[in-house]
A and B are shown apart, each in its own frame.
Chain A
Amino acid sequence: MRALLLLLTLAFATVAHAAIDTYGFDNDTQRERFAALTRELRCPKCQNQDLADSNAPIAADLRREIHRLMTEGKSDEEVVNYLVNRYGEFVRYKPAFEARTWLLWLGPGLLLAMGAGLGWILLRRRHATAPAATLDDADQARLATLLKSTDDD
Protein backbone atom coordinates (compact mmCIF):
# COMPACT_ATOMS: atom_id res chain seq x y z
CA MET A 1 0.00 0.00 0.00
CA ARG A 2 2.74 2.39 1.00
CA ALA A 3 4.69 1.49 -2.13
CA LEU A 4 1.61 2.18 -4.23
CA LEU A 5 1.16 5.57 -2.60
CA LEU A 6 4.76 6.42 -3.23
CA LEU A 7 4.37 5.39 -6.85
CA LEU A 8 1.29 7.58 -7.19
CA THR A 9 3.08 10.56 -5.69
CA LEU A 10 5.95 10.06 -8.07
CA ALA A 11 3.59 9.84 -11.02
CA PHE A 12 2.26 13.33 -10.34
CA ALA A 13 5.58 14.82 -9.31
CA THR A 14 6.48 16.07 -12.80
CA VAL A 15 3.33 18.14 -13.12
CA ALA A 16 4.09 20.11 -10.02
CA HIS A 17 7.21 21.80 -11.29
CA ALA A 18 6.10 22.63 -14.82
CA ALA A 19 7.47 25.72 -16.56
CA ILE A 20 10.20 26.78 -14.23
CA ASP A 21 13.28 28.25 -15.74
CA THR A 22 15.78 30.59 -14.19
CA TYR A 23 16.30 34.11 -15.44
CA GLY A 24 18.42 36.78 -13.87
CA PHE A 25 16.96 40.24 -13.40
CA ASP A 26 18.60 43.46 -12.37
CA ASN A 27 15.83 44.41 -9.97
CA ASP A 28 12.35 43.45 -8.79
CA THR A 29 10.63 45.85 -11.20
CA GLN A 30 12.18 43.94 -14.10
CA ARG A 31 11.08 40.66 -12.56
CA GLU A 32 7.52 41.90 -12.18
CA ARG A 33 7.48 43.23 -15.74
CA PHE A 34 8.61 39.82 -16.99
CA ALA A 35 5.92 38.07 -14.94
CA ALA A 36 3.24 40.47 -16.19
CA LEU A 37 4.31 40.12 -19.83
CA THR A 38 4.39 36.34 -19.80
CA ARG A 39 0.95 36.30 -18.21
CA GLU A 40 -0.46 38.67 -20.82
CA LEU A 41 0.89 36.76 -23.82
CA ARG A 42 -0.59 33.55 -25.06
CA CYS A 43 1.27 30.40 -26.03
CA PRO A 44 0.71 29.80 -29.77
CA LYS A 45 0.91 26.01 -29.42
CA CYS A 46 -1.08 25.32 -26.26
CA GLN A 47 -3.76 27.85 -26.83
CA ASN A 48 -5.43 28.13 -23.47
CA GLN A 49 -2.27 28.77 -21.53
CA ASP A 50 -0.28 31.94 -21.16
CA LEU A 51 3.46 31.92 -21.72
CA ALA A 52 4.17 31.90 -18.00
CA ASP A 53 2.08 28.79 -17.49
CA SER A 54 3.04 26.66 -20.43
CA ASN A 55 5.89 24.19 -20.58
CA ALA A 56 5.71 23.70 -24.35
CA PRO A 57 9.14 24.16 -25.97
CA ILE A 58 7.87 27.10 -27.99
CA ALA A 59 6.68 28.84 -24.83
CA ALA A 60 10.14 28.36 -23.29
CA ASP A 61 11.70 29.85 -26.44
CA LEU A 62 9.39 32.83 -26.28
CA ARG A 63 10.09 33.39 -22.58
CA ARG A 64 13.80 33.37 -23.36
CA GLU A 65 13.22 35.82 -26.18
CA ILE A 66 11.17 38.14 -23.96
CA HIS A 67 13.93 38.06 -21.37
CA ARG A 68 16.51 38.86 -24.06
CA LEU A 69 14.46 41.79 -25.36
CA MET A 70 13.98 43.11 -21.84
CA THR A 71 17.70 42.99 -21.09
CA GLU A 72 18.20 44.94 -24.33
CA GLY A 73 16.06 47.62 -22.75
CA LYS A 74 12.94 47.20 -24.88
CA SER A 75 9.67 48.55 -23.49
CA ASP A 76 6.64 46.34 -22.81
CA GLU A 77 4.97 47.66 -25.92
CA GLU A 78 7.99 46.87 -28.08
CA VAL A 79 8.16 43.33 -26.71
CA VAL A 80 4.47 42.74 -27.40
CA ASN A 81 4.77 44.20 -30.90
CA TYR A 82 7.79 42.02 -31.59
CA LEU A 83 5.73 38.91 -30.87
CA VAL A 84 2.59 40.17 -32.61
CA ASN A 85 4.62 40.84 -35.78
CA ARG A 86 5.66 37.19 -35.81
CA TYR A 87 2.76 35.28 -34.31
CA GLY A 88 -0.14 37.60 -35.06
CA GLU A 89 -2.70 39.36 -32.93
CA PHE A 90 -3.56 35.94 -31.54
CA VAL A 91 -0.76 35.98 -28.94
CA ARG A 92 -2.28 38.88 -27.05
CA TYR A 93 -4.86 38.11 -24.42
CA LYS A 94 -5.80 41.77 -24.71
CA PRO A 95 -6.18 42.39 -28.44
CA ALA A 96 -5.74 45.93 -29.76
CA PHE A 97 -8.86 47.96 -30.45
CA GLU A 98 -9.17 48.05 -34.24
CA ALA A 99 -11.61 47.49 -37.11
CA ARG A 100 -11.46 43.72 -36.65
CA THR A 101 -11.89 43.67 -32.88
CA TRP A 102 -14.34 46.47 -32.07
CA LEU A 103 -17.23 44.04 -31.74
CA LEU A 104 -15.20 41.96 -29.29
CA TRP A 105 -14.54 44.99 -27.11
CA LEU A 106 -17.92 46.71 -27.43
CA GLY A 107 -20.16 43.64 -27.84
CA PRO A 108 -20.88 43.06 -24.14
CA GLY A 109 -21.66 46.76 -23.60
CA LEU A 110 -23.90 46.82 -26.66
CA LEU A 111 -25.78 43.73 -25.50
CA LEU A 112 -26.21 45.23 -22.04
CA ALA A 113 -27.51 48.48 -23.56
CA MET A 114 -29.92 46.52 -25.78
CA GLY A 115 -31.20 44.54 -22.80
CA ALA A 116 -31.59 47.64 -20.65
CA GLY A 117 -33.39 49.44 -23.48
CA LEU A 118 -35.75 46.54 -24.03
CA GLY A 119 -36.43 46.27 -20.29
CA TRP A 120 -37.20 49.96 -20.08
CA ILE A 121 -39.62 49.84 -23.02
CA LEU A 122 -41.43 46.81 -21.59
CA LEU A 123 -41.70 48.33 -18.12
CA ARG A 124 -43.04 51.57 -19.49
CA ARG A 125 -45.61 49.79 -21.63
CA ARG A 126 -46.81 47.67 -18.70
CA HIS A 127 -47.10 50.80 -16.58
CA ALA A 128 -49.13 52.59 -19.23
CA THR A 129 -51.64 49.76 -19.66
CA ALA A 130 -52.02 48.91 -15.95
CA PRO A 131 -55.59 49.54 -14.69
CA ALA A 132 -56.13 52.62 -12.53
CA ALA A 133 -55.75 51.82 -8.84
CA THR A 134 -58.41 54.29 -7.65
CA LEU A 135 -62.07 53.38 -7.17
CA ASP A 136 -64.94 55.49 -8.35
CA ASP A 137 -67.96 56.36 -6.15
CA ALA A 138 -70.01 53.31 -7.14
CA ASP A 139 -67.12 50.96 -6.31
CA GLN A 140 -66.55 52.71 -2.98
CA ALA A 141 -70.20 52.21 -2.06
CA ARG A 142 -70.01 48.52 -3.03
CA LEU A 143 -66.85 48.09 -1.01
CA ALA A 144 -68.47 49.68 2.01
CA THR A 145 -71.48 47.34 1.84
CA LEU A 146 -69.23 44.31 1.42
CA LEU A 147 -67.11 45.26 4.42
CA LYS A 148 -70.21 45.95 6.40
CA SER A 149 -71.74 42.57 5.58
CA THR A 150 -68.56 40.77 6.73
CA ASP A 151 -68.64 42.79 9.99
CA ASP A 152 -72.16 41.51 10.63
CA ASP A 153 -71.10 37.88 10.40
Chain B
Amino acid sequence: MKRVWLAIPLVLFIGLSVVLYRGLYLDPSELPSALIDKPFPAFNLPSLEGGQPLDRTALLGRPALVNVWGTWCVACRDEHPTLARLAEQGVVIHGINYKDDTAAANRWLRQLRNPYQVNVSDPQGSLGLDLGVYGAPETFLIDAQGVIRYKHVGIVSDQVWRDELAPRYQALQSEARQ
Protein backbone atom coordinates (compact mmCIF):
# COMPACT_ATOMS: atom_id res chain seq x y z
CA MET B 1 0.00 0.00 0.00
CA LYS B 2 2.75 2.38 1.03
CA ARG B 3 4.69 1.64 -2.19
CA VAL B 4 1.73 2.81 -4.28
CA TRP B 5 1.67 6.15 -2.48
CA LEU B 6 5.37 6.59 -3.09
CA ALA B 7 4.89 6.25 -6.84
CA ILE B 8 2.39 9.11 -7.06
CA PRO B 9 4.88 12.00 -7.29
CA LEU B 10 6.75 10.13 -10.02
CA VAL B 11 3.56 9.54 -11.99
CA LEU B 12 2.57 13.21 -11.63
CA PHE B 13 6.05 14.28 -12.71
CA ILE B 14 6.01 12.06 -15.81
CA GLY B 15 2.52 13.25 -16.73
CA LEU B 16 3.53 16.89 -16.43
CA SER B 17 6.72 16.28 -18.43
CA VAL B 18 4.76 14.72 -21.29
CA VAL B 19 2.33 17.66 -21.38
CA LEU B 20 5.09 20.27 -21.29
CA TYR B 21 7.26 18.40 -23.81
CA ARG B 22 4.36 18.36 -26.24
CA GLY B 23 3.87 22.07 -25.62
CA LEU B 24 7.39 22.72 -26.92
CA TYR B 25 6.35 21.63 -30.40
CA LEU B 26 3.01 23.38 -30.63
CA ASP B 27 2.85 26.50 -32.76
CA PRO B 28 0.81 29.07 -30.83
CA SER B 29 0.43 31.30 -33.89
CA GLU B 30 -1.69 28.69 -35.66
CA LEU B 31 -5.27 29.19 -34.63
CA PRO B 32 -7.94 26.68 -35.47
CA SER B 33 -10.50 28.36 -37.71
CA ALA B 34 -13.91 28.93 -36.21
CA LEU B 35 -15.41 28.42 -39.66
CA ILE B 36 -14.54 24.79 -40.37
CA ASP B 37 -17.67 22.93 -41.58
CA LYS B 38 -19.57 26.21 -41.84
CA PRO B 39 -20.79 27.66 -45.13
CA PHE B 40 -18.56 30.22 -46.83
CA PRO B 41 -19.89 33.63 -45.70
CA ALA B 42 -22.21 35.57 -47.98
CA PHE B 43 -20.75 38.62 -49.72
CA ASN B 44 -21.49 41.06 -52.48
CA LEU B 45 -18.25 42.52 -53.81
CA PRO B 46 -16.79 43.59 -57.15
CA SER B 47 -14.62 41.32 -59.20
CA LEU B 48 -10.97 42.37 -59.31
CA GLU B 49 -11.07 42.57 -63.10
CA GLY B 50 -14.13 44.83 -62.96
CA GLY B 51 -17.55 43.95 -64.29
CA GLN B 52 -20.47 42.33 -62.52
CA PRO B 53 -20.40 42.18 -58.70
CA LEU B 54 -19.82 38.72 -57.28
CA ASP B 55 -21.57 36.79 -54.55
CA ARG B 56 -20.80 33.44 -52.97
CA THR B 57 -22.46 31.43 -55.75
CA ALA B 58 -19.49 32.40 -57.96
CA LEU B 59 -17.33 30.09 -55.85
CA LEU B 60 -19.62 27.07 -55.83
CA GLY B 61 -19.91 24.02 -58.06
CA ARG B 62 -16.48 22.49 -57.65
CA PRO B 63 -14.17 21.94 -54.69
CA ALA B 64 -11.70 24.81 -54.68
CA LEU B 65 -8.92 26.59 -52.85
CA VAL B 66 -9.81 30.12 -51.81
CA ASN B 67 -6.64 32.10 -51.36
CA VAL B 68 -6.58 35.38 -49.44
CA TRP B 69 -3.83 37.56 -50.89
CA GLY B 70 -2.57 41.09 -51.39
CA THR B 71 0.27 42.81 -53.21
CA TRP B 72 1.43 44.28 -49.86
CA CYS B 73 1.93 40.77 -48.53
CA VAL B 74 5.48 39.59 -49.03
CA ALA B 75 4.69 35.97 -48.26
CA CYS B 76 2.02 36.02 -50.99
CA ARG B 77 4.72 36.66 -53.58
CA ASP B 78 6.53 33.65 -52.13
CA GLU B 79 3.63 31.30 -52.62
CA HIS B 80 2.52 32.68 -55.97
CA PRO B 81 4.66 30.35 -58.16
CA THR B 82 3.23 27.33 -56.34
CA LEU B 83 -0.33 28.54 -56.90
CA ALA B 84 0.43 29.22 -60.58
CA ARG B 85 1.79 25.71 -61.00
CA LEU B 86 -1.20 24.17 -59.26
CA ALA B 87 -3.58 26.15 -61.47
CA GLU B 88 -1.78 24.81 -64.54
CA GLN B 89 -2.34 21.29 -63.22
CA GLY B 90 -6.06 22.01 -63.12
CA VAL B 91 -6.55 22.79 -59.43
CA VAL B 92 -9.43 25.25 -58.98
CA ILE B 93 -8.17 28.34 -57.15
CA HIS B 94 -10.18 31.44 -56.33
CA GLY B 95 -8.68 34.59 -54.93
CA ILE B 96 -9.75 37.19 -52.41
CA ASN B 97 -7.74 40.33 -52.94
CA TYR B 98 -7.62 41.52 -49.34
CA LYS B 99 -7.25 45.21 -48.45
CA ASP B 100 -5.34 45.97 -51.59
CA ASP B 101 -5.06 48.54 -54.34
CA THR B 102 -7.00 47.24 -57.35
CA ALA B 103 -4.62 48.67 -59.98
CA ALA B 104 -1.57 47.23 -58.20
CA ALA B 105 -3.29 43.85 -57.88
CA ASN B 106 -4.13 43.69 -61.58
CA ARG B 107 -0.58 44.68 -62.48
CA TRP B 108 0.78 41.92 -60.23
CA LEU B 109 -1.44 39.32 -61.93
CA ARG B 110 -0.28 40.44 -65.40
CA GLN B 111 3.36 40.21 -64.37
CA LEU B 112 3.28 37.02 -62.30
CA ARG B 113 0.55 35.02 -64.08
CA ASN B 114 -2.99 34.68 -62.81
CA PRO B 115 -3.80 31.40 -61.09
CA TYR B 116 -7.25 32.54 -59.98
CA GLN B 117 -10.48 31.60 -61.73
CA VAL B 118 -12.56 34.10 -59.78
CA ASN B 119 -10.95 37.00 -57.99
CA VAL B 120 -13.02 38.86 -55.41
CA SER B 121 -11.90 42.37 -54.59
CA ASP B 122 -12.21 43.09 -50.86
CA PRO B 123 -10.60 46.52 -50.39
CA GLN B 124 -12.24 47.19 -47.00
CA GLY B 125 -11.47 43.75 -45.65
CA SER B 126 -15.14 43.08 -44.86
CA LEU B 127 -15.15 39.57 -46.34
CA GLY B 128 -11.80 38.97 -44.69
CA LEU B 129 -13.38 39.85 -41.36
CA ASP B 130 -16.25 37.43 -41.94
CA LEU B 131 -13.69 34.77 -42.78
CA GLY B 132 -11.68 35.42 -39.63
CA VAL B 133 -8.60 36.39 -41.64
CA TYR B 134 -5.86 37.73 -39.41
CA GLY B 135 -3.00 37.85 -41.86
CA ALA B 136 -2.41 36.97 -45.49
CA PRO B 137 -1.78 34.55 -47.01
CA GLU B 138 -4.53 32.28 -45.78
CA THR B 139 -5.99 29.51 -47.87
CA PHE B 140 -9.38 27.91 -47.39
CA LEU B 141 -10.49 24.64 -48.90
CA ILE B 142 -14.18 24.61 -49.78
CA ASP B 143 -16.29 21.82 -51.15
CA ALA B 144 -18.66 21.97 -54.14
CA GLN B 145 -21.49 23.22 -51.92
CA GLY B 146 -19.34 26.04 -50.57
CA VAL B 147 -18.75 24.63 -47.11
CA ILE B 148 -15.35 25.48 -45.63
CA ARG B 149 -13.58 22.21 -44.92
CA TYR B 150 -10.03 23.24 -44.09
CA LYS B 151 -7.90 26.31 -43.57
CA HIS B 152 -4.18 26.77 -43.96
CA VAL B 153 -2.55 29.89 -42.52
CA GLY B 154 0.71 30.87 -44.16
CA ILE B 155 2.46 30.10 -47.40
CA VAL B 156 1.20 27.26 -49.57
CA SER B 157 4.50 25.64 -50.44
CA ASP B 158 4.91 22.45 -52.47
CA GLN B 159 5.24 20.57 -49.20
CA VAL B 160 2.11 22.11 -47.69
CA TRP B 161 0.20 21.21 -50.84
CA ARG B 162 1.52 17.64 -50.85
CA ASP B 163 1.03 16.96 -47.15
CA GLU B 164 -1.96 19.04 -46.11
CA LEU B 165 -4.04 20.24 -49.01
CA ALA B 166 -3.76 17.72 -51.86
CA PRO B 167 -5.18 14.72 -49.94
CA ARG B 168 -8.11 16.79 -48.71
CA TYR B 169 -8.71 18.38 -52.09
CA GLN B 170 -8.74 14.99 -53.79
CA ALA B 171 -11.09 13.61 -51.15
CA LEU B 172 -13.48 16.49 -51.82
CA GLN B 173 -13.27 15.86 -55.56
CA SER B 174 -14.23 12.23 -55.24
CA GLU B 175 -16.95 13.28 -52.81
CA ALA B 176 -18.31 15.71 -55.42
CA ARG B 177 -18.28 13.05 -58.17
CA GLN B 178 -20.54 10.70 -56.22
Partner-B contacts on A (CB < 8 A): 44-45, 47, 57-58, 61-62, 65, 84-90
Contacts and interface: CB of A to CB of B under 8 A. Distances in A.
B33 A88 contact: yes
Interface in B116-147: 125, 129-135
A86 B130 contact: yes
A65 B124 CA distance: 11
How big is chain B's contact interface, by range? Answer: 10 to 19
A84 B32 CA distance: 12
A65 B129 contact: yes
B6 interface: no
Interface in B149-173: none
Nearest to B131: A86
Q: Which residue, B29, B34, B99, B130, has most C-beta atoms of chain A within 10 A? A: B34
Interface of B: 28-29, 31-35, 99, 125, 129-135
B135 A87 contact: no
A62 B99 CA distance: 14
Contacts of B31: 44, 87-88, 90
A58 B125 CA distance: 9
Contact of A86 (B28, B29, B34): B34
Secondary structure class of chain A's binding surface, majority of residues: helix
Contact of A84 (B29, B34, B130): B34
A87 B35 CA distance: 8
Contacts of A65: 129
Given A58-B134, A90-B31, 12 more contacts: A44-B132, A57-B99, A58-B133, A58-B135, A65-B129, A86-B129, A86-B131, A87-B34, A87-B132, A88-B31, A88-B32, A88-B34
Contacts of B33: 88
A85 B34 contact: yes
Contacts of A90: 31-32
A113 to B, nearest CB: 15
A47 B29 contact: yes
Contacts of A87: 31, 34, 132, 134
25 contacts: A44-B31, A44-B132, A44-B134, A45-B134, A47-B28, A47-B29, A57-B99, A58-B133, A58-B134, A58-B135, A61-B125, A61-B129, A65-B129, A84-B34, A85-B34, A86-B34, A86-B129, A86-B130, A86-B131, A87-B34, A87-B134, A88-B32, A88-B33, A88-B34, A89-B34
A126 to B, nearest CB: 14
Contacts of A84: 34
